Amino acid sequence: MTKAGAFLAGFVLAAAAAAGAWWFVGLPHARDLEARAVDAGRATARARRDASDFQQGAEAEIRRRREIESEVDSLKKALTAAPPPRRPGPMAPNGGPAPAPAPSDDLAPEQWDGSRLRQEIDMLSVAPKGVVDSPRYPLVVRALRAHDEESVDLLVTVLGSDLEDSMKAVCATLLGAVGDVRGVKPLMALWETAKDVELRRAVLRGLANIPGEEATPMLVAVWNDPNSDASARLLAIHGLARRRHPLATAVAAGGAPGSTPPLRMQTLQTLHAQALQGEWKDTSLAPLFGKALRTADGDPQRKMALLALEGYWSTDSLADLDAFAEAAGTNDLAVRARRLSDAIRAGKPRPENAGIPAQRAGATRVGGEPGGSDEIVPPGK
């Protein structure tokens, strides 16, 4: 072979080796680098979208808070409004009084006409999940209770109509707040057909709040159903506690199968509201709160139990108060329990506000019911 041929052969072999090295080593590495670059580009784009979404969400939240603050200011006027005084006005041409002026936005809810009431309900339907937390909610409830007969007819008519589920959900909640037993059958019928999650939750809330035993089997079924979510079970145990069902008293006393700390807290909260509404006259729940004080799952439950015992102000609670104070040692709740025990033993009169929370955030709700937007985390948790 000539020198030229040998050189050419060597060059070909070197080129083939380089090509093989590129194919087996360089190309996969290049593809890996390219893939990493693509992933990095996607991650950057995702981060930019997330940052943009976060900024938009923050701006929306700021706008929402400003709107709520403005709404609260305007509703305070209606909340504190009194009937306008009668003033002598101009006479009509026939000698009689002139027609009454158009209703003012500052009218008390009890003076709202049907048009104003429907407008307020429509506003509540914009956010049906958090309706019980809205500052508008207690005003609408006041207006409905002032015209009970017409109100129930209106709410029941909406439940059976073709209106949107959000409107039906608000009316189901309001029907429970009015507390008229005529609302049970329409709510039970809607429970059987409703598919929307928020609508079913509102129907469950309405049935939990309306007194009577007709809805009790359904509430028990929801509590025992392993497929019920946390919010549904919270509303079910609230309804059972309002009826002082054995399931609820078992949960309050020490927990029961299926109970959790939030569910037990809600039960104590509802039972406390029942005792407060009854002006502490029925002392049958006092031993239950005493046991709850000693076996509570945390300080929120202890505070609720101790608050109830302060309301009862009964010598029957002394043993539980003493046992808790001794076991708790020197913390604030133990000191509070000792102070209560000493006052009851000394025969001091019960203070006027005993048993009433310092800040009654849920005072506009029905009997200690859970909130709307944070149902699985009861107040104080």
pLDDT digits (tens, 9 = 90+) for 263-302: 999 999 999 999 999 999 988 999 999 999 999 999 999 9
Amino acid at the residue 26: G
CA angle 381, 352, 326 (to 5 degrees): 55
Put simply, whether the predicted model's pTM sits higher than 0.85 gets the answer: no
Half-sphere exposure at residue 155, Cβ-oriented, CA atoms within 13 angstroms: 35
Q: How far apart are the first and last CA of the chain?
A: 93
- Evaluate the CA torsion angle 233, 234, 235, 236 in order and state its sign: positive
Split at pLDDT 50, 70, 90, the class of 257 is confident
Above 60 in pLDDT, residue 82?
Answer: no
Split at pLDDT 50, 70, 90, the class of 149 is confident
Split at pLDDT 50, 70, 90, the class of 95 is very low
245 three-state secondary structure: coil
Task: Pick the more confident residue, 249 or 102.
Answer: 249
Q: Where are the alpha helices (DSSP H) in 160-298?
A: 165-178, 184-193, 197-209, 216-224, 230-242, 246-254, 261-277, 286-295
The share of the chain scoring above pLDDT 90, in percent, equals: 56
Split at pLDDT 50, 70, 90, the class of 85 is very low
Split at pLDDT 50, 70, 90, the class of 47 is low
